[in-house]
Amino acid sequence: MLNTLEPHPGGWERLATTFVWSAAALVTATFCWLLGDIIWHGLSHISWAFLTTPPRNAGREGGIGPILVSTLLILGVCLGVAVPLGVGTAVLLAEFTTDTSLFGRLTRRSLDVLSGVPSIVFGLFGNAFFCKTLGLGFSILSGGLTLACMVLPILIRSTEEGFRTVPTGYRLSAAALGLSRTTTLLYLLLPAAVPGLLVGLVLGVGRAIAETAALIFTSGYVDRMPQSLLDSGRALSVHIFDLSMNVSGGDSHAYASALVLIFALLAINGATSWLTKHWLSRRIVTV
Amino acid sequence: MNICRVLCRPKKYALLVALVMITVFTDVPASAEDQRTASNQLNGKLVVTGSSTVAPLIAEMGKQFESLHSNVRIDVQTGGSSRGIADARQGLADIGMVSRAMKDDERDLQAFPVAHDGVCIILHRENPVQALADEQIVAIYTGKVTNWKAAGGTDAPITVVNKADGRSTLEVFLQYFKLRASDVKAHVVIGDNEQGVKTVAGNRTAIGYVSIGTAEYDATHGAPIRLLPIGEVPASSESVRKGVFPLSRPLHLVTKTSPSGLAKSFIEYAQSKAVHDLIRQQYFVPLAD
């Protein structure tokens, strides 16, 4: 269809087309290369035993069972804290403050600055505040809370965008029907803003699960099966870093762990997106 | 009503999950610092922090120690030697790990060597060169000498094998020869020790450096490599153990005060013969018997 509408392509047109296509091809090729490399080196080591047994000989042998559990717990703590706080702040920013109010501008500006702060800074902050000042020590709780601080700005800003894309007509109609602001928020605006929240969640989980610098100083290096949230637990990314940079002969298991990390990330993103769609379709008919 | 029913259900699940999580994950409170040695029954938790080079070794020792004393937990954290020093000083860690000799201003700490890390230069066994002076090694690694003829060998180009960034052997090597990582002009960059041995064993004109433990093991098990002496000192675990091999460093555990109780038992264990296998497994050299 498009082709029939276009004028006869001249030299520049063709050049631009070539450029755009090769740029896209380059991006795709990089991704495929990366994934292919990891699958090639890692797939042969993946087995049920690898996923469930504890590491032995500094990770050169054995599996990643306790490390997977620690990673999921850290992520759970992170999201459990970040999602309620994030949605709350986003509601305040989008629904209860105006664009020009001093408080709103200040909050937004601080969030933007926070989202640009390097993760090692969050790690040192988490170590100083959660581990030492609050006395949580090297623990899954410290790690999760530190990650929550890191993920919050992304989560808040994209959820806020989600609220802002809801047409004003919804709010006016709700007010005209005599619905309270809380009801409007819970049953109308929140479901409509979920896609924004979802984007934030996917980006946030991606940043959290890949985090090494912030976690090595907070949740730590211990590769034992955690028994409480106050235990230190090694995250998958820390394990990969240690195997590839610190343990000679750990490369093959580093690749396998990286493969698990990538699949975990894809699975979590897929599940989030599926759950939201499923849930949404039952709550509101159409947006 | 319908809306509420649908809305409430996930909340119930969430509550249930939260309750399960709380019951499952809070039943064992960490019994910090209640160390006691009475009647051979050690219990409590030791926090060990510091050098990332030493951390995998101590973590393995910790696991073995835990399996001997079921009520003991050894938590190993990394962050570098200076962190080990700082944490031990401030009391944040019971024991610090340091992967170098102690400095003069660190005499306030108690230091306990547990192993040595030695690095040696290796050539192919058929390379006629028997020894290289320090300056020659520097010249080869910085690309100033590129042919074995200039270093007393046959007329053949030199293949320089270097370690990847972040390897402790690289640090020891650079430190001894006073080089920076960017000075080295390498043809092949390798990861672990085994790979280094294989690269040199498969290339008659290559020069590389690996951990002494690995090189010795492979050389005595048929790999065609030669370990070069540094100065007059032969490259062997024995020289490292005696502390005379220059390309080596001690691996220390440090404590703020004279250790007692659990910390004392663990340090004694880490210095005992029982862990020599573990030390060799991590490519380090055990202390003298």
Please report the sign of the dihedral spanned by the C-alpha atoms of residue A121, residue A123, residue A125, residue A127: negative
* Assigned domain for A12 exists: no
Cβ distance A86 to A159 under 8 Å? yes
Can you give the pLDDT at residue A282? 62
Mutate to test the interface with A, among B77, B170, B218 (most CBs of A within 10 A): B77
Q: Is residue A213 part of a domain?
A: yes
The reported pLDDT for the residue numbered B38 is: 40
Please indicate, yes or no, if residue A282 is contained in any of the structural domains: yes
Contact list in B for residue A228 (CB cut-off 8 A) is 25-30
Q: Decide the pairing of beta strands A61-62 and A55-56.
A: antiparallel
Query: What's residue B1's pLDDT?
Result: 38
CATH number where A60 lies: 1.10.3720.10
Does A32 fall in a domain? no
% of residues, chain A, pLDDT over 70: 93
Contact of B186 with B161, CB cutoff 8 Å: yes
Containing domain of residue A139, as a range?
A: 48-286
Q: What pLDDT shows up at residue B167? A: 64
What domains are there in chain B, each with its CATH number? 43-116+250-286 (3.40.190.10), 118-242 (3.40.190.10)
The verdict on residue A232 lying in a domain is yes
Residues of B whose CB is below 8 A from A282:
6
Report the predicted TM-score, pTM, of the whole model to 2 decimal places. 0.77
> Would A28 be classed as within a structural domain?
no
B contact residues 120-149, partner A, Cβ 8 Å cutoff: none
**Long-range contacts, B61-64 (Cβ 8 Å, 24+):** B61/B266, B61/B269, B61/B270, B61/B275, B61/B278, B62/B266, B63/A224, B64/B274, B64/B275, B64/B278
3-class secondary-structure state, position B187: coil
Judge: A248–B28 Cβ closer than 8 Å, yes or no.
no
Residue A74 in this model has a pLDDT that exceeds 80: yes
Alpha helices for chain B (secondary structure H):
2-25, 55-68, 81-90, 134-141, 168-177, 193-201, 212-220, 237-242, 261-270, 276-281
Question: Which residue of A224, A248, A255, A272 to mutate against B (max B Cβ within 10 Å)?
Answer: A248
**B192 vs B6: CA distance, rounded Å:** 56
Q: Is residue A24 part of a domain?
A: no
**pLDDT for position A68:** 95
Q: Is residue A59 part of a domain?
A: yes
Nearest Cβ partner for A249 among B3, B53, B192: B192
A234-to-A149, A220, A224, B97 alpha-carbon distances in Å: 19, 6, 8, 19
Instruction: Report residue B70 as tokens.
Output: 């079921």
* pLDDT number for residue A255: 94
ipTM value, please give it: 0.78
How many structural domains compose chain A? 1
- B6–A57 CB contact, under 8 Å: no
pLDDT bin (cut points 50, 70, 90) of residue B29 is very low
CA dihedral A135, A141, A144, A147 (to 10 degrees): 0
For B91, nearest residue in chain A (alpha carbons): A132
Question: Residue B25: CB partners within 8 Å, gap ≥ 6?
Answer: A73, A226, A227, A228, A229
Banded model confidence at residue B40, pLDDT cuts 50, 70, 90: low
Residue-level pLDDT at B28 = 41
pLDDT bucket at A151, cuts 50 / 70 / 90: very high
Q: Residue A193: pLDDT above 90? A: no
Q: Which residues of A touch B52 (CB under 8 A)?
A: 242, 246
Tens of pLDDT, residue by residue over B80-103, are 888 899 999 988 899 999 988 888
